[in-house]
Amino acid sequence: MSTTVTNVILAGLGGQGVIKASDILADAAVRAGFDVKKAEVHGMSQRGGSVTSDVRFGVKVLSPMIPRGEADFLVVLSPSEVVVTRPLLRPGGVLFAPDFVPEAELVNKRSLNVALLGALSAYLDIPERIFLEAVRAALAERLHAVNEQAFQQGRARAAKAGAAALGKRQ
Amino acid sequence: MEKRLLSGDEAVALAARDAGIALGTGYPGTPSTEILEAFGALGGRAQWAPNEKVALEVGLGAAFGGGRALVTMKHVGLNVAADPLFTAAYTGVTGALVVVTADDPGMASSQNEQDNRRYAIAAGLPMLSPADPQEAYDYFFRAVELSERWSLPVLFRMTTRVCHSKALVASRATPMTPRAPSFVRDIPGRVMVPAFARPAHRKLRAKLAEIATFGDASDLHTVTEGSRDLGIITDGVCALHAAEASPGASFFKIGLVHPLPIERLRAFAAGVKRCVVIEESDPVIAEALRAAGIAVESKPEAFRFGELDVARVRRILARDLSPEPPLPRGKPPELCAACPYHPVFAALRKLDCIVAGDIGCYTLGVMEPYRALDTCVAMGASIGVGLGLRHVLPADQARRVVSIIGDSTFIHSGVSGIMEMVYNPPELGHVVIVLDNGITAMTGQQEHPGTGRTLEHQATGKISIEGLARAMGIDTAILDPFANPAGFATLLAEKLATPRLSLIVARRPCVLAAADIRGWEKAAEATRAAQACCPGAVPEDA
Ligand SMILES: Cc1ncc(C[n+]2csc(CCOP(=O)(O)OP(=O)(O)O)c2C)c(N)n1
């Protein structure tokens, strides 16, 4: 376990499952034994506005907010939010844009959030098994199969396109 | 004890349960809303009041009776509750009264960014300032202890990032046990006529002096020895930003922001070469220290605006005044596609109305394509502002003035505006539209007295908006604007054309809440029917 803090920003529009995805990520990090903090502003998120959520984990996390321009990973669920949030990523950080997992390949479009978490998971120091536990814990049982599949699709894409994904580093 | 990931709001709710809070009340407002919802879900007695003033009064009564009470609100809610608050500082309490004020530096979802640490000074009340969910949990017990030890209401200041950040929280193994409430008469202590209020004020100041002495030695403040070159004095979430921005510095983290531990801070400042106060919003701590003759550096004026983060704290410490990179400007919120308010704004636009607006989802009527909102100041203000406009504008403009207000806002503070309207009617009359979507939508769909269901969606007494308006002698019409947009526009035009006072209830449930409302209402109906047959029934239309 490294002593540095891992900084992940999840972004999208209200109703896309940004907060749900960040809850899953934070829970996975807790289950993996990290100190975790998570911050978001969700006052008006239900009205379709932009939503971002910061998840930070490591041995010890201080501020709940990721300093601007210091995110290691940026996971974006809506194409319109990519340009807006890109400056939050540090040089060399990894961007997962919404088309990283093509919508057409998903059984249910609504699991894009979990699919992108799957992609992200390939880069994190959290075992896959633990990640999946967190996915299941956060969702109703009838949604488990679809979301586990989406998670695996994202993870496989990240593994396969490892080089391509690295090429996307900012 | 296993740690759980909790938001600051959830941590306060858990602490309230573990501290034996007998009653939690408040009025919804981001970022404080989830506290009472979570407290109710944990089995606590949680209820929404019609507004913050009433909530504080109910909490005060519970604390007069010897109970432990929690009252929650957003920062601007304390303006509404300020009247009883200031005198409750004189009366004090018998049980405990913890008043949570959730400030919103940066205005993520508020109309201003007032700094409620000023209220602690103005009212003369102790105020705790937790930095994260764990402290929110731990400090809550301290607040209850302070409140009972000095028989005073205690202010609990949270901010958006304390309320809505999640972090690991360890809870206590053993809950605190409260004393059983029981009435003890104390006329000079609780009846604030001048003869009793004069000594009460002196007593308050004496208590504050004692609390200051207590605070000077208290572990609510944490001093971390670091470099002598830089000392940082800070409170709340800023302490975490600062610790990350400057890990080598010496720190004085203030937990009790009022009264301040002035002598300890003086010694701390004297022990370092450079002493900087890192605080969000107003320079409240810096001003107090300077007034006490302690030389500290305060942040430049630019940092009074918006919230702080690690990057901004680094700038303050580096005295970097170069322009800051703009915050990402994402997509603003907008009315839901199927929101029942659309036809209302279309009609207001079509009739070229001058719209005195209010606060709620309908404030979004200011956005394109309608731009049909001309004022938005404070909850309930639409009616008074609309009347004021009507009183002074030339007739061709006055005729077009309309006040629009949501159902929750109408109950909160719109009713007194209607009294004003009846008492001081404008020459050309006035038109008020109550946008009744059957819920407090903006803050995440909370119940209110007009829904006839409690915080936990159980059947209870119900306030009729049209019943209230008619009782005050106002010509009142009810219409579903979504089902009949043309009819709504015609009705509005008719009302505007007469010099009478009129109120239109535009009634259709919020699209986001409609399914839930149907479910709750079905269950509530069943309860009402069952109660209607028995003595002690809750009347259907109380
Ligand atoms: C004094 C005060 N308390 C609380 C709030 C938070 N708040 C903003 S709008 C609102 C109520 C909105 O409900 P409603 O009037 O029914 O309108 P809707 O959002 O349903 O359209 C609340 C509680 C506030 N801005 N000011």
A13–B331 CB contact, under 8 Å: yes
Query: Any idea what the CATH number is for the domain that residue B313 is in?
Result: 3.40.50.920
Write down the pLDDT at residue B331. Answer: 81
- Among B440, B507, B511, B512, the mutation site with the greatest number of ligand 1 atoms within 8 A of its Cβ is B440
* Domain final residue, candidates B152, B185, B217: B217
Mean pLDDT of A101-129: 95
State residue B540's pLDDT score: 46
Task: Measure the CA–CA gap between B11 and B351, rounded to whole angstroms.
Answer: 49
pLDDT at B1: 64
Nearest CA in chain B to A44: B333
Query: To which residue do tokens 């709340």 refer?
Result: B236
Q: Is 60 exceeded by the pLDDT of residue B542?
A: no
Candidates A62, A86, A89: best to mutate against B (most CBs of B within 10 A) is A62
Alpha carbon of B164 to those of A15, B31, B225: distances in Å?
A: 18, 7, 30
Residues in chain A closer than 8 A to B364 (CB atoms): 47
Question: Quick check: CB of B451 below 6 Å from ligand 1?
Answer: no
Q: What is the DSSP string of B324-366?
A: PPPPP--PPP---TT-TTHHHHHHHHHTT-EEE--SSGGGGGG
What is the pLDDT at residue B109? Answer: 87
Question: Residue B59 phi/psi, 5° resolution?
Answer: -60, -40
Phi-psi region of B515 (alpha: psi -120 to 50; beta: other; left: phi over 0): alpha
Which amino acid appears at position A152 of this protein?
Q
pLDDT tens sequence across B426-479? 999 999 999 999 999 999 999 999 999 999 999 999 999 999 999 999 999 999
- By Cβ distance, the residue of B132, B168, B325 closest to A68 is B325
Question: CA-CA distances (angstroms) from residue B145 to A73, B12, B21, B59?
Answer: 44, 15, 12, 17
Length of chain A: 170
Report pLDDT for B534: 67
Residue finishing a domain among B190, B217, B244: B217
Pocket test for ligand 1, best of B442, B443, B448 (most atoms within 8 A of CB): B442
Task: Work out the average pLDDT over B255-275.
Answer: 98
User: Which two structure tokens, joined as six digits, stand for B456?
Assistant: 């936990």
- A44-58, A155-169, B241-255, B256-270: range with lowest mean pLDDT: A155-169
The C-alpha atoms of residue B34 and residue A151 are separated, in whole angstroms, by 30
Atom of ligand 1 nearest to the CA of B111: 25
Mean of all residue pLDDT scores within chain A:
90
- Backbone phi and psi for residue B222, each to the nearest 5 degrees, phi listed first: -120, 130
Q: How many domains does chain B have?
A: 3
Residues A81 and A88: their CA atoms lie apart, in Å, by 12
Q: Among B409, B416, B465, name the best residue to mutate to test ligand 1's pocket (greatest count of ligand atoms within 8 A of Cβ).
A: B409
Predicted local confidence at residue A42, as pLDDT: 66
Average pLDDT over residues B506-521: 97
Q: Is the same domain home to B95 and B126?
A: yes
Check whether residue B68 and residue B211 sit in a common domain. Answer: yes
Question: Do the domain assignments include residue B324?
Answer: no
Residue B519 Cα to ligand 1 middle (Å): 23
Edge-to-edge strand ranges of the sheet holding B222-224? B222-224, B249-254, B227-235, B274-278
Cα–Cα distance between B542 and B292 in angstroms, integer? 56
Q: Is the pLDDT of residue B318 over 70?
A: yes
Q: Is residue B401 part of a domain?
A: yes
Asked if omega into B31 is within 30° of 0 (cis), the reply is yes
Query: Angle at the Cα of B341 (from B335 to B344), degrees rounded to 5?
Result: 135
User: What is the token pair recorded at B519?
Assistant: 């479910």
Within-domain flag for B328: no
Structure tokens at B191: 């009846």
- Residue B337 falls within a domain, yes or no? no
Does ligand 1 come within 6 angstroms of the Cβ of B372? no
Which pLDDT does position B530 carry in this prediction?
86
Highest-confidence segment of A15-19, A27-31, A64-68: A27-31
Amino acid type, B421: M
Chain B residue with CA closest to A51: the answer is: B330
Query: Is the Cβ pair A42, B164 closer than 8 Å?
Result: yes
Report the alpha-carbon distance of residue B345 to residue B368 in Å, rounded: 11
**What values do phi and psi take at B8, rounded to 5?**
-60, -40
Mean pLDDT of the B276-294 span: 98
Specify if B538 maps to a domain. no
Ligand 1 touching residue B72 (CB < 6 A): no
Look at residues A165, A149, A151, A79 and name the one whose alpha carbon lies nearest to residue A117.
A151
Q: Per-residue confidence at B532, pLDDT binned at 50, 70, 90?
A: confident
At residue A170, does pLDDT exceed 80? Answer: no
Interchain pair A47, B364: CB under 8 A: yes
Which residues, numbered 54 to 113 in chain A, qualify as contacts with chain B under a Cβ-Cβ cut-off of 8 Å?
61-65, 67-70, 80-81, 84-85, 87-88
Between the CA of residue A162 and those of B147, B226, B375, B519, what are the distances in Å?
A: 58, 43, 53, 48
* Other Cβ atoms closer than 10 A to B294: 20
Provide the residue type at B514 as one letter.
A
Cα A41 to averaged position of ligand 1 atoms, centre (Å): 17
**Does residue B503 share a domain with residue B467?**
yes
- Collapse the DSSP code of B476 into the 3-class scheme (helix H, G, I; strand E, B; otherwise coil) and give the result: strand
Using a pLDDT cut of 70, give the percent of chain B over it: 98
- State the DSSP code for B441: T
**Is ligand 1 within 6 A of the CB of residue B443?**
yes
Question: Ligand 1 pocket, B361 CB below 6 A?
Answer: yes
State the Cα–Cα distance between residues B527 and B522, nearest whole angstrom: 9
Q: Which amino acid is at B466?
A: E
pLDDT score at A49: 84
**Bridge partners of residue A66, in order along the sequence:** none
Least confident of A77-86, B19-28, B526-535: B526-535
Q: Please list every residue in chain B whose beta carbon sits closer than 8 Å to the beta carbon of residue A52.
A: 328, 330
Predicted confidence (pLDDT) at residue B538 exceeds the cutoff of 70: no
- Of all residues in chain B, what percent carry a pLDDT higher than 90? 94
Ligand 1, atom 12: closest residue by C-alpha: B360
User: Which pLDDT tens digit goes with each residue over A131-163?
Assistant: 999 999 999 999 999 999 999 999 999 988 774
Distance in angstroms (rounded) separating the CA atoms of residues A156 and A133: 18
Q: For an interface test with B, which of A7, A47, A52, A80 has the most B Cβ atoms less than 10 Å from its Cβ?
A: A47
Q: Is residue B539 part of a domain?
A: no
Q: Which of B109, B359, B482 to mutate to test the pocket of ligand 1 (most atoms within 8 A of CB)?
A: B359
Q: Is 60 exceeded by the pLDDT of residue B366?
A: yes
Rounded to whole angstroms, how far apart are CA atoms B317 and B322? 13
Let me know whether B244 and B128 are in one domain. Answer: no
Give the pair of three-digit tokens for residue A122.
């390939």
* Closest Cα in chain B to A88: B328
Which ligand 1 atom minimizes the distance to the CA of B77? Answer: 1
The yes/no answer to whether this complex scores an ipTM above 0.90 is yes
Nearest to B160 among A41, A80, A87 (CB): A41
- Distance from the CA of B410 to the center of ligand 1, in angstroms? 10
How far, in whole angstroms, is CA B22 from its chain's centroid? 21
- H/E/C letters for each residue in A98-155? HHHCCHHHCCCHHHHHHHHHHHHHCCCCCCHHHHHHHHHHHCCHHHHHHHHHHHHHHH
In this prediction the pTM is 0.95
Q: Ligand 1 mean position to A28 CA, how many Å?
A: 35
Cβ–Cβ gap B333/A39 under 8 Å: no
Domain co-membership, B200 together with B233: no
B230 and B212 in a common domain: no
Domain boundary among B217, B238, B271: B217
**Nearest CA-CA partner of B236 in B217, B222, B215, B218:** B222
Domain ranges of chain A: 6-169
Residue A45's pLDDT band (boundaries 50, 70, 90)?
low
Do B152 and B183 reside in the same domain of the chain?
yes
Calculate ∠ Cα B84-B85-B86, nearest 5°: 95
Q: Residue A62 is nearest to which of B166, B240, B328, comparing CB atoms?
A: B240
Chain B partners within 8 Å of A137 (Cβ): none
Q: What is the residue-averaged pLDDT of chain B?
A: 96
Q: Could you tell me if B9 and B101 lie in one domain? A: yes
Residues of B in contact with A30 (CB under 8 A): 3, 5, 168
Whichever domain contains B56, its CATH number is 3.40.50.970
Residue B8 near residue B162 (C-beta atoms within 8 A): yes
For domain A6-169, the question of CATH label 1.10.1200.10 is answered with no
Provide mean pLDDT across the span B483-505.
Answer: 98
Rounded CA-CA distance B49/B448 in Å is 7
Residue A78 in this model has a pLDDT that exceeds 50: yes
Tens of pLDDT, residues B370-379: 999 999 999 9
| Residue B461 structure tokens | 């007494």
Could you give the residue ranges of the DSSP H alpha helices within A32-123? 79-85, 112-121
Indicate if ligand 1 lies below 6 Å from the C-beta of B441. Answer: yes
CA atoms of B392 and B421, how far apart (whole Å)? 15
Answer yes or no: do B498 and B423 share one domain. Answer: yes
- In short, whether B150's Cβ falls inside 6 Å of ligand 1 is no
Q: Does position B421 have pLDDT exceeding 60, yes or no?
A: yes
pLDDT tier at A26, thresholds 50, 70, 90: very high
pLDDT at B529: 87
Residue of B310, B278, B5 whose CA lies nearest to B133: B5
Q: B310, A14: Cβ pair inside 8 Å?
A: no
Within this chain, do residues B232 and B156 fall inside the same structural domain, yes or no? no
The whole domain housing B378 covers 342-533
Residue B476's nearest CA partner among B456, B450, B454, B502 is B502
The answer to whether residue B13 sits within a structural domain is: yes
Looking at the structure, tell me whether residues B171 and B265 fall in a common domain.
no
Q: Distance from the CA of B362 to the center of ligand 1, in angstroms?
A: 10
Co-location of B239 and B213 in the same domain: no
For ligand 1, atom 6, name the residue with the nearest CA.
Answer: B29
